[in-house]
Amino acid sequence: NPRRARPQVGDGLAYMTGEKEGQQITLADLKVGGPPVLAYPMDVSTQTVRDGARTNLLALVKVAPEELPEKLRADAADGVLAFSAICTHYGCPITETHPTGGKLVCNCHGSTFDVLKNGEVVAGPATRRLAHLPLKQAGSALLVAGNFAGPLGPPQQ
Ligand code: FES
């Protein structure tokens, strides 16, 4: 079932919600310091959004080029990074950025993850980093460039 498949190399990214739900996200849609854009991977040839697996949900954030760490540079597209948006504490969707920037915050219990440190936990209760998903740029489009760099969601109990 293509809707339940993991993100595939070459997939585009589609809005999870809002008036553009299901539409493909372009680089111009992301702003440095803006809130995370929640997205699912999408097979662009068939316009199939891979929303059949909750762990496919992504939080896209744009980082200023000078802030982008060397290690994440190859996996960013014009400063845009994609992280798993499923909190590693109890699995809430991650919908906020910290006002100081560069961090993703889970509203359920306040876990905070540093996007500039590869999703590392900077405030609990979560104990495991958020995995990122490598991206690449193709013209104005954002495309998936690889597999998630780590486990998704809360550790199995
Ligand atoms: Fe995210 Fe608890 S589910 S902090």
What ipTM does this complex have?
Answer: 0.99
Pocket test for ligand 1, best of 86, 106, 122, 130 (most atoms within 8 A of CB): 106
Distance 105 CA to ligand 1 centre (A): 9
Q: Structure pTM?
A: 0.95
Can you read off the two tokens belonging to residue 34? 């803006």
- Please give all residues whose beta carbon lies within 6 A of any atom in ligand 1, as ranges: 87, 89-90, 92, 106, 108-111, 125-126
Q: Checking DSSP bridges between strand 132-133 and strand 80-84, what pairing results, if any?
A: antiparallel
Tell me the sheet residues that pair with 86: 93
DSSP 114: E
SS3 content of the chain, % helix, strand, coil (to 5): 10, 30, 55
Structure confidence by residue, pLDDT tens digits, 112-148: 999 999 999 999 899 999 999 999 999 999 999 999 9
CB 152 within 8 A of CB 91: no
Report the nearest-CA residue for atom 3 of ligand 1: 90
Mean pLDDT of 96-103: 83
Structure confidence by residue, pLDDT tens digits, 7-61: 999 999 999 999 999 999 999 999 998 889 999 999 999 999 999 999 999 999 9
